[in-house]
Amino acid sequence: MTDALAVRVTVLDTWEEFSLSVPGQTPVTEVKRQALQLAHVVRPADGYLVKYQGAELPEGNVTVAEAGVRANGALIVLSRRRTPVR
């Protein structure tokens, strides 16, 4: 599956949504890295996780297509650690 897949990625640190077009063989980790870069997040990418339809996506060598992300799917990149609310 080499066709481009359009996805929407929201980075919760900035509440910005980015539209990305990536090949289906793109690793989930790479999509996370691109979104964090676009949001100008300076913290390490390994401190973040990616969710799709409420579930955390596996990273490593798992591709977007293998993770079951569909065209125009909405991904969320959020911190692995919960932020306390005051």
Q: With respect to CATH, is domain 4-79 assigned 3.10.20.90?
A: yes
pLDDT of residue 86: 72
Q: Tell me what pLDDT residue 40 has.
A: 96
The residues spanned by each domain of the chain are 4-79
Residue 33, classified by CB atoms within 10 Å of its CB into exposed (0-12), middle (13-18) or buried (19+), is middle
pLDDT in tens, the chain (86 residues): 457 899 999 999 999 999 999 999 999 999 999 999 999 999 999 999 999 999 999 988 899 999 999 999 999 999 988 766 77
Residue 37 backbone phi and psi in degrees, to 5: -65, -45
The helix or strand, by DSSP H or E, that contains position 35, with its residue range, turns out to be helix 28-38
pTM: 0.87
Q: Report the pLDDT value the prediction gives residue 70, as an integer from 0 to 100.
A: 93
pLDDT of residue 85: 73
